[in-house]
Structure 1
Amino acid sequence: MDSQPQAGAGAVAPSALQGVRVVEMGQLIAGPFCGKTLGEFGADVVKIEAPGGGDPLRNWRLIQDGTSVWWQVQSRNKRSLALDLRQPEGQDIARQLIAEADVLIENFRPGTLEAWGMSPEALHQLNPGLVMLRISGYGQTGPYRDLPGFGAIGEAMGGLRHLTGEPGRVPVRVGVSIGDTLAALHGTIGVLTALYHRRVNGGQGQVIDVALHEAVFNVMESLIPEYSAFGAVREAAGSALPGIAPSNAYPCSDGWVLIAGNGDSIFKRLMEAIGRPDLGAAADLADNAGRVARVAELDAAIGAWSAPRTVQQVLDALGAARVPAGKVYTAKDIAEDPHYRARGMLLQQTTRDGHLIEVPGIVPKLSATPGRIRSSAPHLGDDTDAVLQEAGLTPAQIALLREKGVVA
Structure 2
Amino acid sequence: MSRPLSGIRVLDLTRVLSGPYCTMLMADMGAEIIKIEQPGNGDDSRSFPPFERGISAYYANLNRNKKSVALDLKDEQAKKVLRDLIKVSDVIVENFKPGTMDKLGFSYDEVKAINPQIVYASISGFGQTGPYKKLPGYDVIAQAMSGMMSVTGWPDSAPTRTGTAIGDILAGLNCCIGILAALQGRVSHRHGDRIDVALVDCSVSAMETINEIYMVENRMPQRIGNRYEFIYPYDSFQASDGWVVIAVGNDALWKRFCEVTGHDDWFAIEKYKLNKDRVQAHEELQKLVTAWTREHKVKEIISLLQSNSVPCAPINTVADVVEDEHIAKAREMICEIDHPVDGKMKITGCPIKFTESAQFNYSKAPTLGKDTKDVLANLLKMSSDQIDHFE
Q: TM-score range by the shorter chain?
A: over 0.9
Match of 2:281 in 1: 294
Displacement of 1:370: 4.6
Q: Equivalents in 1 of 2:354, 2:116: separation in Å?
A: 30
Match of 1:384 in 2: 372
Q: 2:338 aligns with which of 350, 356, 371?
A: 350
Displacement of 1:371: 5.3
Structure 2: gaps of 5 or more residues: none
Displacement of 1:154: 0.9
Q: Equivalents in 1 of 2:115, 2:376: separation in Å?
A: 19
Q: 2:163 aligns with which of 175, 196, 201?
A: 175
**Secondary structure of residue in 2 paired with 1:218:** helix
Matched, 1:59 2:47: yes
Q: Equivalents in 2 of 1:86, 1:161: separation in Å?
A: 39
Q: Which moved more, 1:184-193 or 1:202-211?
A: 202-211
Match of 1:30 in 2: 18
Q: 1:253-273, CA deviations, whole angstroms, 9 ceiling, x for partnerless residues? A: 221100012310111111223
Match of 2:73 in 1: 85
Match of 1:268 in 2: 255
Displacement of 1:274: 2.7
Match of 2:232 in 1: 245
Displacement of 1:27: 0.2
Match of 2:387 in 1: 398
Q: Equivalents in 1 of 2:90, 2:317: separation in Å?
A: 39
Q: Equivalents in 1 of 2:53, 2:309: separation in Å?
A: 47
Displacement of 1:298: 1.0
State the TM-score, normalized to the length of structure 2.
Answer: 0.96
C-alpha distance 344-401 of structure 1, shift in aligned 2 (>3 A): closer
Q: 2:324 aligns with which of 337, 344, 361?
A: 337
Match of 2:269 in 1: 282
Amino acid corresponding to residue 267 of structure 1 in structure 2: W
C-alpha distance 371-163 of structure 1, shift in aligned 2 (>3 A): farther
- Structure 1 segments (4+ residues) deviating >4 Å: none
Amino acid corresponding to residue 392 of structure 1 in structure 2: K
Contact between 1:362 and 1:371, CA under 8 Å: does it hold in 2? Answer: no
C-alpha distance 16-242 of structure 1, shift in aligned 2 (>3 A): same
Quick one: percent identity of the two aligned structures? 35
**Secondary structure of residue in 1 paired with 2:347:** strand
Q: Which moved more, 1:324-333 or 1:358-367?
A: 358-367
C-alpha distance 185-371 of structure 1, shift in aligned 2 (>3 A): farther
Matched, 1:39 2:27: yes
Q: Equivalents in 2 of 1:106, 1:326: separation in Å?
A: 39
Matched, 1:254 2:233: no
Q: Equivalents in 2 of 1:260, 1:307: separation in Å?
A: 17
Q: How many residue pairs are counted as aligned between the two chains?
A: 389
Contact between 1:273 and 1:321, CA under 8 Å: does it hold in 2? Answer: yes
Q: Which moved more, 1:335-344 or 1:249-258?
A: 335-344
Contact between 2:231 and 2:248, CA under 8 Å: does it hold in 1? Answer: no
Q: 1:196-217, CA deviations, whole angstroms, 9 ceiling, x for partnerless residues? A: 0001x13311100000000111
Q: Which moved more, 1:38-47 or 1:354-363?
A: 354-363
Amino acid corresponding to residue 391 of structure 1 in structure 2: L
Displacement of 1:243: 3.0
Q: Which moved more, 1:100-109 or 1:327-336?
A: 327-336
Displacement of 1:79: 0.1
Matched, 1:313 2:300: yes
Q: Equivalents in 2 of 1:183, 1:400: separation in Å?
A: 36
Q: Equivalents in 2 of 1:132, 1:36: separation in Å?
A: 17
Q: Equivalents in 1 of 2:349, 2:142: separation in Å?
A: 27
Q: 1:322 aligns with which of 299, 303, 309?
A: 309
**Secondary structure of residue in 2 paired with 1:182:** helix
CA root-mean-square deviation: 1.3
For residues 109-120 of structure 1, what are the structure 2 equivalents within 5 Å?
Answer: 109-120=97-108
Displacement of 1:182: 0.3
For residues 97-246 of structure 1, what are the structure 2 equivalents within 5 Å?
Answer: 97-199=85-187, 201-246=188-233
Displacement of 1:65: 2.1
Q: Equivalents in 1 of 2:362, 2:227: separation in Å?
A: 41
Contact between 1:268 and 1:281, CA under 8 Å: does it hold in 2? Answer: no
Structure 1: gaps of 5 or more residues: 1-12, 403-408
Amino acid corresponding to residue 161 of structure 1 in structure 2: M
Q: Equivalents in 2 of 1:69, 1:111: separation in Å?
A: 31
Amino acid corresponding to residue 373 of structure 1 in structure 2: N
Displacement of 1:100: 1.3
Q: Equivalents in 2 of 1:373, 1:177: separation in Å?
A: 26
Displacement of 1:249: 0.5
Match of 1:68 in 2: 56
Match of 2:291 in 1: 304
Q: Equivalents in 1 of 2:342, 2:51: separation in Å?
A: 14
Contact between 1:59 and 1:66, CA under 8 Å: does it hold in 2? Answer: no
Contact between 1:250 and 1:258, CA under 8 Å: does it hold in 2? Answer: yes
Q: 1:83-114, CA deviations, whole angstroms, 9 ceiling, x for partnerless residues? A: 11122222221111112110001000000000
Q: Equivalents in 1 of 2:35, 2:64: separation in Å?
A: 11
Displacement of 1:119: 0.8
Amino acid corresponding to residue 24 of structure 1 in structure 2: D
Match of 1:10 in 2: none
Amino acid corresponding to residue 119 of structure 1 in structure 2: S
